[in-house]
Structure 1
Amino acid sequence: MKTNLLKLPVRDLLFKNPLVVNYKKMWPFVKPYWFRAVLGLVLALPVGALDATVAMFMKYYTDDVLVKKDAFFAAWIPLLIIVFVLVQSVLTYLVKYLNTWVGNKITLGVRKKLFEKLLTMHSGYFDKVDSGFVMMRFNGDADTACNGLINNLRMIVTRVFSSVTLIGVLLYNSWQLTFIAIGAFAVAGGLIFIVRKKLEELVRDAVIVGSIAMRAYNEAYNGNRTIAAYNLQKDQEVRFNHLMDEAFNLNMGMIKHTGWLSPVMHFIVSLGLALVFWQSSSMIVKGTITSGNFTSFVTALLMLYTPVKTMGDNYVDIKKAFLAIDRIFEIFSLKTEISDKPGARKLAGIQKEIAFENVSFEYKPGVPVLKNINLKTAVGKTVAFVGNSGGGKSTIVSLLPRFYDPQQGRVTVDGVDVREVEIASLRDQIAVVFQDNFLFSGTIRDNILIGRPGATEADLKEAVKHAHLDEFIASLKDGLNTVLGERGITLSGGQRQRVAIARAFIKNAPVIVLDEATSALDNKSEAVVQKALDNLTKNKTVFVIAHRLSTVVNADMIVVLNQGEIVERGTHEELLKIPNGAYAALYNAQFKHKQ
């Protein structure tokens, strides 16, 4: 059975309780460029108004040149038309340039603000939201909203003033015929309101499918080796084809509910045009209007017909821009769960101890991951967390730098709750080496200096030496300036780990967190990385998670976690003496082949 992708939880993330946009909030993004924005709109007025000049000249050309054979008008009217059209063309270029410039600047500002917002979101947010959502909402919506709104605003101003002046020409030539024409246009324009709500739903669904498509591309790129290793090409193709089928159905739904607008408008307006011809024939015969009036009227009517005919398509574009603005302000209104409290103090250092007091934590309500954790360690000591997978080891160390906050209890530094100190100052005291460390695009030097951007060349060389990277760096043609592939894919696992260790080393933080830093390495790589870690952790307070117990036998305290609870704690020797102990069982399971 096929899964309806539109019923996935991401839909709730996108559109649950949508906010009503306060368009005044756009003003901070427009304010720096308001003069050019207003100038572009002001210049759009004559661009629209000049449409009427050609229609108006047609009356005099018909009556005075074609009928009366007046040589003066025959010479000057074509020249005047050329002048007016030339002026309109120049103004059109200036308006388009100014509006494009302003639109791109506003888009740039919104994108910067959205990226700033993205960087402030807590880890739990990224646990719930996929990459496709982020790319669509934090990047694509900015262009749709800003450029779309500016371009549509320019179009509206131009066409409104074009329509007003053209209607003026219609009234000047015949008020009777004008009422017939405007009546037809009003009926055609009213059709938009019939599809308004359905259109909004379709546009929203299209955004959902677009975000899922983005995620599919991202997974295909980052997971290419897994796809190849498990021959998942066909499976991924079927899933993507299913997604594209839904996208097709949405697009066809859009056409089904809105595609008839333009042809129906065309038919209604054509009926109005036919009525105008029928009525004008009688009026010309009776002498109520001249041939010039009729020619000018029809010219203005045909020029007015073009914007009305495309009104349905323009409405779709405008609605997309407005909905994108809605979604942008939904993002701006998001509140991160991890932030500085008012009056938070700066943490200058850690003098005595780090403690976990009655800490309980859950990612999903009702599913506890940590249960009433109590643990205290003095500065300069090494605490190792061991236990079966899923026991809460990574979670407990994630609470220290406030990647998450516990639902109950508190984590303290020298007796102060970490929620009472500035997050930046807290994280300045902690260096983390993960199992899979993220390397950014750029050089090896850039990735190491992330730890401390202002570090000297001597500091950098020392970090490289202590991370046991010096021999590897010397073998590279460009040394530290070697450019890495995305995520450091051109390096081996051990090399990536040592770059991360150098990054942590150069930070010189008093607390080190090692989250299974060697578990993914082979024995040879692990031996080199372990030497680097030994250098990194000298005279530091260390929290280490390890599956390989050989790496933690010298820890000052080993904590055994099982199902989110501390079941044992002590030194390696103390834990081995516990009869039928959990640690002893783990240790014997790993080393029984050596006995």
Structure 2
Amino acid sequence: MNLKHKLTLFVKQNVLAKNISRMWPYIKPYWFRAALGVALTVPVGALDGAVAMFLKPFMDKVMVDKQPHFSALIPFLIVGFTIVQGVLIYSSNYLNTWVAQKITIGVKRRLYEKLLSMDTSYFDTHNSGEILFRYSNDAETASTGLIDNLKQFLSKTFSSISLVCVLLYNSWQLALIAIAVLLFFVYPMAKVRKKMKEILEKTVGNLSYVMTIYNETFAGNKTIRSFTLEDEFKKRFHNVTDMTFSLAMRMVKGTNWLSPLMHIIMSIGVALVIGCGSYLIVNGTITSGNFVAFIAALMMLYTPLKSVGNNYISIQNSFLAIDRIFDILDLQPNIKDLSTAKELTEVKKDIVFDHVHFEYVAGREVLHDINLTIPVGHTIALVGNSGGGKTTISALIPRLYDIKQGSIKIDGADIKDISQKSLRKQIAMVFQDNFLFSGTVKENVLLGNEHADDATIWMALKSACLDEFVKGLPQGLDTQIGERGILLSGGQKQRLAIARAFVKNAPIVILDEATSALDNKSERVVQEALDNLMKNRTVIVIAHRLSTIQNADKIVVINDGKIAEQGTHEELLKLRGAYYALYSMQFKKQEA
């Protein structure tokens, strides 16, 4: 077996070595400080043995031989060594904390980059609590835990080596007894490891759900109040906290027997040492000083093992957090740019859906053989029953999802051959419920184009019929709008989103039921803003209110994932088909 293979095998078998190797890219920029901080733990551990060693001459020279100069010297030496040890401990803790925080920041940044790269489908299948916990808390647990565990591992290793040397120096016979007893510590820890992993994984899932409940309570507080759901959410929270309690008690039940067992094993070891030590002192094999130094070293060696249960849980939690982090980092988005992807700089001709099939879940197709051409500069309206696939069609154009079969082409180029960033730069989207970010009016408008100047922003606000409102705000463009734009009305949010789209100045505009949630007065103002936005652009409009799309160049009726019919408003009314039925339903009273 060659050296490389041996090292690979060692890394796989040694959990600590494996996790250090995985985290090395994040440790590498700070390796010198990390190495120095960890190296300082070596003398910290070794000095434990030095302090214990001084007890032998103290007992033999002072307590037995009554030599006065030793009585003054040794206490000062012990205090001096302890002061040095304290300084080293402080320096080591400072350096290790500095490195741990830097590693945490690095891991969090990498995880956030990974989060930004994930497909829309990833967010469809993961709740907010899980994402918050795994992308934030795990980074903290893994980074801090790894450094702490490495520091403790080396400190305790060198402490144990120095203390074992003290044991052997003072009495090899008693040392054999003490070391033999140590072997009984290994089996119980191996016994609980598998059980701990199972409980910790369930605990992480449970804590993620707790965070989800908090998020939903915050975001849905008006719904909770209006539907009087306080008792229901209280019940949910009680259930999840009961589960947290149950898991915590299972952990205690499954692991806390370690500490009392260690006490028992340790007491047996001490009892055997005292019994055998008494015999060796009586027959003159060792001195009283040997025995006292031996007992001190033994207690210093055994004492950390008393709390091994709690430390072991912390170590396993850290290692599992690292596993979860790399599970995320190993994920690959389904939608990726080809190495030969082209840049889309303008749209000259059309958008073509060619025999498109799509499914969110394998085996459950939601779009069936969609064939549609959208000429440049034209307005296409998608109407039909709820859940028919209108929004899905609009989401496929910016490639938020990939199709199962067929192709979507812009100016003859398959969008899979175009880079995602350049594709999406050509598309502005206004949704029914637009997401506004915490910050100012200006900051939200600039999301459409970060290089836009104030004149462009005011022009966009005017086109969105929002300029007079913003001028009346206390700080104008610099007015804070609150998280998710909570300080704005529904119509104002929509118009701010439209201003954002104006600033982007993209040739393709997708309007996904942009006025359906508004009252008649707000709808008229927003519709005026939308009419301004739609000028000289290729527009895809999704609407339930047919009055807003009668002037579209083409109306496409989508029912159950298929194109039922398409044509102008007048052409579709003459067909007396699906569109006529929708129209009659909405305008029956007016026609009467």
Residue 465 (structure 1) shift? 0.7
Residue-by-residue CA offset, 1:203-237 (whole Å, 9 max, x unaligned): 11111111111111111111111111111111111
Of 473, 486, 491, which aligns to 2:488?
491
Tell me the equivalent position of 1:240: 237
Say which SS state the counterpart of residue 442 (structure 1) adopts.
coil
Q: Which residue is equivalent to 2:163?
A: 166
2:587 is the counterpart of 1:588: no
Decide whether the 8 Å contact of 1:185 with 1:308 is kept in 2: no
The corresponding residue for 1:8 is none
Q: 1:230 to 1:410 in 2, by over 3 A?
A: same
Gap regions ≥5 residues in structure 1: 1-19
Percent sequence identity is 55
**1:132-531 correspondence to structure 2 within 5 Å:** 132-531=129-528
Return the match for 1:537 from 530, 534, 543.
534
RMSD: 1.1
Secondary structure (helix, strand or coil) at the match of 2:575 reads coil
**Quick one: distance in 1 between partners of 2:299 and 2:22?**
39
Shift of 1:284: 1.2
| Residue identity opposite 1:409 in structure 2 | G
Does residue 576 (structure 1) correspond to residue 573 (structure 2)? The answer is yes
Residue 546 of structure 1 corresponds to which residue in structure 2?
Answer: 543
**Is the 8 Å Cα contact of residues 354 and 370 (structure 2) preserved in structure 1?**
yes
The CA deviation string for residues 503-546 of structure 1, in whole angstroms up to 9 with x for no partner, is 00000000000000000000000010011111111100000000
Q: Is the 8 A contact 1:358 1:409 kept in 2?
A: yes
1:50 to 44, 47, 50: 47
CA deviations on 1:541-568 (whole Å, 9 max, x unpaired) are 0000001111100000000000000001
d(CA) in 2 for partners of 1:329, 1:365: 26
Counterpart pick for 1:92 among 89, 97, 101:
89
* 1:313 to partner: Cα distance: 2.1
In 2, Cα distance between equivalents of 1:229 and 1:306: 58
How far does residue 187 in structure 1 lie from its aligned partner after superposition?
0.4
Deviations 1:85-112 (A, max 9, x none): 1110000001001111111101100000
Q: 1:542-595 deviations in whole A, cap 9, x for unaligned?
A: 00000111110000000000000000100011111113x111111111111212
Aligned equivalents of 1:264, 1:341: Cα separation in 2? 59
**Cα deviation 1:425-460 (Å, max 9, x = unaligned):** 000100000110001111110000000000111111
Which residue, 79, 83, 90 being the options, matches 1:82? 79
1:241-296 CA-partner distances (Å, limit 9, x unpaired): 11111111111111111010011011111111011111111111111111111111
Q: What amino acid is aligned across from residue 151 of structure 2 in structure 1?
A: R
Say which SS state the counterpart of residue 483 (structure 1) adopts. Answer: coil
How far the C-alpha of 1:23 sits from its partner, in A, is 5.1
Name the CA distance, whole Å, in 1 between partners of 2:104 and 2:210. 23
Q: Tell me how far 1:362 sits from its aligned partner.
A: 0.9
**Which string of whole-angstrom CA distances, capped at 9 and with x for unpartnered residues, describes residues 57-88 of structure 1?**
11111111111111221111111111111110
Gaps of 5+ in 2: 1-16
Greater Cα shift, 277-286 or 42-51: 277-286
Which has the larger displacement, 203-212 or 86-95? 203-212
Deviations 1:100-131 (A, max 9, x none): 11111011000000000000111111111111
Return the alpha-carbon distance in structure 2 between the equivalents of residues 25 and 146 of structure 1: 11
Question: Post-superposition shift, 1:320?
Answer: 1.1
Q: Distance in 2 between matches of 1:90 and 1:484?
A: 51
CA distance in 2 between counterparts of 1:59 and 1:85 reads 17
Letter in 2 for 1:539: N
CA contact (8 A) 1:21 1:329 kept: no
How far apart are the structure 1 equivalents of 2:75 and 2:286? 23
Return 550-559 or 570-579, whichever deviates more: 570-579
Match of 1:6 in 2: none
Matched residue of 1:484: which SS?
coil
Amino acid at match of 1:590: Q
| SS of 2:541 mapped into structure 1 | strand
Q: 1:153, CA displacement in angstroms?
A: 0.8
Q: Are the aligned partners of 1:189 and 1:311 in contact in 2 as well (CA < 8 Å)?
A: no
SS at match of 1:533: helix
Q: Provide the rounded CA distance (Å) in 2 between the counterparts of 1:338 and 1:444.
A: 33
SS in 2 for 1:96: helix
The 1:498–1:21 alpha-carbon spacing in structure 2 relative to 1, beyond 3 Å, is farther
Question: CA distance change for structure 1 residues 67 and 23 in 2, over 3 Å: closer, same or farther?
Answer: closer
- Do the aligned residues in 2 keep the contact of 1:188 with 1:269 (CA within 8 Å)? no
Contact 2:19 2:319 in 1 (8 A): no
Query: Secondary structure of the residue that 2:342 maps to in structure 1?
Result: coil
Tell me, in whole angstroms, the C-alpha distance in 1 between the residues paired with 2:363 and 2:484: 36
- What is aligned with 1:15? none
Question: Equivalent of 2:37, from 30, 40, 45?
Answer: 40
Q: Would you say 1:118 and 2:119 are equivalent positions?
A: no
CA distance in 2, matches of 1:227, 1:270: 58
Report the secondary structure of 2:40's partner residue. Answer: helix
Q: Distance in 2 between matches of 1:436 and 1:56?
A: 73
Counterpart of 1:257, as a letter, is G
Query: Could you tell me how far 1:22 is from its partner in structure 2?
Result: 6.9
The 3-state SS of whatever aligns with 1:558 is strand
Q: Is the 8 A contact 2:263 2:306 kept in 1?
A: yes
Q: Is the 8 A contact 1:58 1:292 kept in 2?
A: yes
Distance across 2 between alignment mates of 1:167 and 1:310: 20
TM-score, length of structure 2 as denominator length: 0.96
Residue 188 and residue 24 in structure 1: after superposition, are their counterparts in 2 closer, same or farther (change >3 A)?
closer
Distance 1:46 1:21, change over 3 A: closer
Task: Give how far 1:190 is off.
Answer: 2.4
The Cα of 1:366 is off from its aligned counterpart by 2.0
DSSP 3-state at the match of 1:394: helix
Contact 2:19 2:322 in 1 (8 A): no
1:443·1:480 contact (CA, 8 Å) conserved in 2? yes
**Cα shift at 1:154:** 0.4
Pair 1:69-2:69 in alignment: no
- Given that 2:350 and 2:375 are in contact with CA atoms closer than 8 Å, whether structure 1 keeps it comes out as yes
What's the offset of the Cα at 1:21?
A: 6.8
> What whole-Å deviation, never above 9, does each CA across 1:173-208 have from its counterpart, x for those lacking one?
111111111222220232101111111111111111
Task: Provide the rounded CA distance (Å) in 1 between the counterparts of 2:18 and 2:439.
Answer: 39
Question: Given residue 587 of structure 1, which amino acid in structure 2 is its aligned partner?
Answer: Y
